[in-house]
Structure 1
């Protein structure tokens, strides 16, 4: 919305703040990290996935959690 309204500096600042999170959401196959992040943010009730997907690993969870914190979302 900001870019569409010509507020490019503000849009760029938000994009740069979120870019590390965007990159870290691919630490494991999609949608595993995204579903976990949605659960951590309270957007969904569970991070349970249907087979053949498996739960996020502890390592993946730590990476995504740190990225959410860095982005100021947690």
Structure 2
């Protein structure tokens, strides 16, 4: 009887450790993904701005002004 209780205790501790590890890895993975999305968004914004300047939608002054606006931290 006592041996079974020890085995189940070890199983429970291992399951808790695996669950905690999974939660940490998922949390770290999602923060890395967000950083990648922000970089892609900044690149897309720059392309849109260049296209608007090339098409004559905005002048050189407006292009430089918008190009120098820093990204808002999120």
TM-score (norm 1): 0.30
TM-score (norm 2): 0.30
Whose helix fraction is larger, Structure 1's or Structure 2's? 2
Structure with higher Rg: it is 2
Name which structure has the greater RCO, CA cutoff 8 Å, separation 6+.
Answer: 1
